[in-house]
Every structure is written in structure tokens, then in C-alpha cells.
Amino acid sequence: MPTPTPVPAAPVRVASSTSRIVGYFAGWKIAEGFDPYQIDVSKLTHINYAFAKIDSSNKIIMGYPKYDPQNFAALRQLKKQKPELKTLIAVGGWDWSERYSDAALTEESRKTFAESCVAFMVEHGFDGVDLDWEYPVQGGASDNVRRPEDRENFTLLMKTLRKKLDERSAADGKPYLLTFAGGCYTTYIKNTELDELGEIVDFANLMTYDMHGTWDVRTDFNAPLYPPDRSTVEQLNWSVDKTVNLWLNAGMPAEKIVVGIPFYGMKYTNVSSSDQNGWYQTYNGGWAISYKDIAEKYLTNPTYKRYFHPQAKVPWLFDGSTFISYDDPESIDWKVNYIQDRGLGGAMFWQITQDNGTLLDALEGAMDD
């Protein structure tokens, strides 16, 4: 196993937090036939509901008003099955981060946003709020509003929201959670104040996936644990381990780092060569694909052979023309061992409806080992 990059010694205050299993649930999937009651809450500690959106008055509103009330009611019922389960309303995401900069801009806008989050959370029975700002200062969807001061304003927004959640907690005696989903590259570190955020939030969900995809020139791994050796360097050679070390060096406490695991893969078509069994070759076409579809259509297909990279610790499938990068029980076991060895805060995954049960079983089983 490659040796992880050294990081400055820091006290690890919590060991039990490594057992967190945080699953995002995409609310729109109910329109595709997914019943929220299919969620196996026995294997989860937290569910993040994706997504609420921000309106022009800096308040959060339902993202999918046609489906959200039914989904929210189901989540409340699921909590009766497992009272210790925590549900959070996730705000923003890739599609709906365009107004975050405005919401964070002034003391008044931050207060309006925070109060609306608390009211929404209480009305619909959530236990906390998860901010998915993709991304402060730069990046994200093309219609995002961006400002250099987003870096400091994000911290101020979180402080305001923490204050309002604590006020609500003092009023009704119930603890409320504050988390956020964060990026995995140096630009995200530069554009946020992770040391200050680490003092405010309960934990942070690292989006340690989409490290490679069909925007790259060559086939590559969606979420490698460690960076693999490559004969040429035509695209960024990133990994979960590199991300974790970045976050630790930026001041985020280890026990508050929750490592993201994709329950989907990347499929590349018309791969130009069978060299390296299709890995790091040029291609023409591709898209993301759920693990459920991978299991149903490809794992049982004898024309596809499974490979496992000894450094990256992730598998792939190749049939001579199509390359599929994904996570499976073996790679999840490696990642959970890493989380526990580093004293990190648990695992998160995107997202619940993309699994056939195999990956969540593997994740929960590895956490218990």
C-alpha cells in the first residue's frame, strides 16, 4: 500500500465518530419510481435530503414542491423505525448554488437565510442543515453569482446559522446539526476558511468523487483512494488521500472529516486502445452510471473483465472498448480501513437510489469490522 502523505500531528479527540454513515437522498428520484420507504435506515446514521433551493429573497424553499412533502413525510416515518437516525435538509447543490453569494453577502441577508433554514427544518421535521455551496469564489454552474469575498462570507454565514440553530436548541431542548459538503481540490481550500469552519460545524462531507470523468482526455478513476503511477501526466492525478491531507493541513479536525464514496461510476465508450486494460486511454463518449446499473448490466456480462488497481485501490471493468470506473465492496473496505486508520469522521455517499443494496451493506459491514 502506498504510504499516505505525512500531515502535521494533531490530536484526534473522537474515535466513535468514525462510524458515521451519511447518505444523500435525491428527492426527485421518487418520480422515477423510488419509494423512500425502500431506504434501509438500519444501516445509516444520517440522511441528507437533496435539495432545497434559495429564492430571490435569500430564503430557502422546497426544491421539488411536487415531491418534497411526500418525501418529507416518509423521512419522518422512517425516523420512527430508528429514532437515533438524523435527517438534514441539504441546500443548494450543483444546480441551485447560484444565490449563495447573495445570501452570504450582508449581515441582514445572512440572518434572513439562517432564520429561513431553521424555520424550514423545524416545519418539516429535520434534525439539521447541510450547506452544499458549489462553490464559493469560483467554479460551479455557469449561472452562479461569484465574489472574492465569498471566502469570508461563507464563514460568516455558517456562524450566523450556527447561532440560530443553537438558539432554537436552547428553546426546545433538542440539538441541531450543521454540516456542509466541500470540494476536494486546492482551489476549494484557497476559497474557504476551513480552520474556522471546523470550529463551527458538527462535521463536513468531502465530495471525494468526480475526480475524473468524461471531461478528461483519458479514461481514469472516479474516486481513487491513492494516486496511481502513470507513464504520462495529461490530467490531474488526484485521490481521496490527497484531499484528506489538504483538509487536515488547512485546519479541519480529523474527526469532523467525513469521506465521500460514490455509489455510481463513470462509463467511457470507444476506448482507443486495450493498453493497460483500457485505463488511461483516449476515448470518444461516456456518462455517469449508477452502481445499480453496473451490477445489472455489466458485472454479470462475460464480455467484461474486472480489474483492481493495486495502488489506487479501486476496480474497473473493460471489454476491449468500454471502460467503467466504479466502487465496489473491495474498494469500500479499503476506504473504510483508511477512514478508521486516520481517525476520520465516517463515510458519506452520493446517493441512496443508485445502489442495489450491495454497497450500503458493504459500507455498514466494514464499519462494524
Q: Domains of the chain, with CATH numbers?
A: 16-262+327-368 (3.20.20.80)
**Sequence letter at residue 77:** Q
Q: What angle do CA 139, 177, 253 make, to 5 degrees?
A: 65
What integer is the mean pLDDT of 176-201?
98
Beta 286-290 vs 264-268: how paired, if at all?
antiparallel
DSSP assignment letter at 227: P
Across 47-66, b (16+ Cβ under 10 Å) vs e yields: bbbbbbbbeeebbbebbbee
Report the candidate in 163, 167, 203, 284 with the shortest Cα–Cα distance to residue 17.
203
User: How far apart are the C-alpha atoms of 240 and 224, rounded to whole Å?
Assistant: 6
Among 98, 134, 193, 364, the one annotated catalytic = 134
Report the candidate in 43, 45, 16, 143 with the shortest Cα–Cα distance to residue 92.
143
H-state helical runs in the chain = 68-81, 100-103, 107-124, 150-172, 186-190, 194-200, 240-249, 291-297, 329-341, 358-368
134 a catalytic residue: yes
Q: What angle do CA 281, 284, 289 make, to 5 degrees?
A: 90
CA distances from 271 to 192, 218, 283, 361 (A): 38, 9, 4, 32
pLDDT of 18:
64
pLDDT surpasses 60 at 279: yes
CA distances from 278 to 54, 96, 160, 210 (A): 42, 36, 49, 19
Report the candidate in 114, 130, 139 with the shortest Cα–Cα distance to residue 260.
130
Q: What angle do CA 62, 67, 70 make, to 5 degrees?
A: 105
Q: What is the pLDDT of residues 310-324, one digit of tens each?
A: 999 999 999 999 999
φ, ψ for residue 60 (rounded to 5)?
-90, 145
pLDDT of 369:
83
User: How far apart are the C-alpha atoms of 294 and 301, rounded to whole Å?
Assistant: 10
Q: What is the pLDDT of residues 222-274, one digit of tens each?
A: 999 999 998 778 899 999 999 999 999 999 999 999 999 999 999 999 999 99
User: How far apart are the C-alpha atoms of 224 and 273, rounded to whole Å?
Assistant: 22
The position carrying cell 467554479 is 139
Question: Cβ contacts of residue 119 below 8 Å, gap of 6+?
Answer: none
Percent of the chain scoring above 90 in pLDDT:
93
Cα-Cα-Cα-Cα dihedral sign, residues 74, 77, 81, 85? positive
pLDDT surpasses 80 at 8: no
Strand partners, 181: 205
Dihedral over alpha carbons 328, 333, 335, 341 (to 10 degrees)? 180
pLDDT surpasses 70 at 187: yes
pLDDT of 231:
73
User: How far apart are the C-alpha atoms of 179 and 14, rounded to whole Å?
Assistant: 17
More confident residue, 234 or 155: 155
Q: What is the pLDDT of residues 115-152, one digit of tens each?
A: 999 999 999 999 999 999 999 999 999 999 999 999 99
Q: In 3-state terms, what secondary structure has residue 87?
A: strand
φ, ψ for residue 260 (rounded to 5)?
-80, 140
The position carrying cell 482507443 is 272
Q: What is the pLDDT of residues 58-111, one digit of tens each?
A: 999 999 999 999 999 999 999 999 999 999 999 999 999 999 999 999 999 999
**Sequence letter at residue 38:** Q
CB count, 10 Å around CB of 338? Answer: 20
DSSP assignment letter at 6: P
Residue 268 corresponds to which cell in the numbers above? 467511457
Question: Cβ contacts of residue 333 below 8 Å, gap of 6+?
Answer: 362, 366
| H or E segment and range at residue 290 | strand 286-290
pLDDT of 80:
96
Q: How many residues does the chain have?
A: 369
φ, ψ for residue 339 (rounded to 5)?
-55, -45
φ, ψ for residue 286 (rounded to 5)?
160, 175
